[in-house]
Amino acid sequence: MEKDVVVFAKNKYQDVKVRLSEYQGNDVIDIRIWTQPPQGDQKVPTGKGVNINVRLFPELKKAIEKLEQDLKENNLI
């Protein structure tokens, strides 16, 4: 299964994609930078990213909630 869940611009030439995917027979959450190659017309994935087994989603969610709390406490968002 490959499904884009969220895509947002990192800058003019790169996007961040959050996808549901499969890697080595495991269902994973793939968070990766996609970039526009100089001679290409479609963005391609880079090595900059992370695959997290879907079973670890509760831990990822806790980490993002903690990050949000810290960002707010430091007036960054």
Angle at 29 between CA 71 and CA 77, to 5 degrees: 15
The answer to whether 2 and 20 are in contact (CB under 8 A) is: yes
Question: What pLDDT digit, counting tens, does each position of 6-44 carry?
Answer: 999 999 999 999 999 999 999 999 999 999 998 888 999
* Measured CA angle at 47 (ends 41, 43), to 5 deg: 10
Tell me if the domain spanning 3-73 has CATH number 3.10.20.440: no
* Alpha carbons 29 and 40: distance in angstroms, whole number: 26
Residues 5, 20: Cα–Cα separation, whole Å: 7
pLDDT digits (tens, 9 = 90+) for 40-63: 889 999 999 999 999 999 999 999
Which residue do the tokens 């993002």 mark?
64
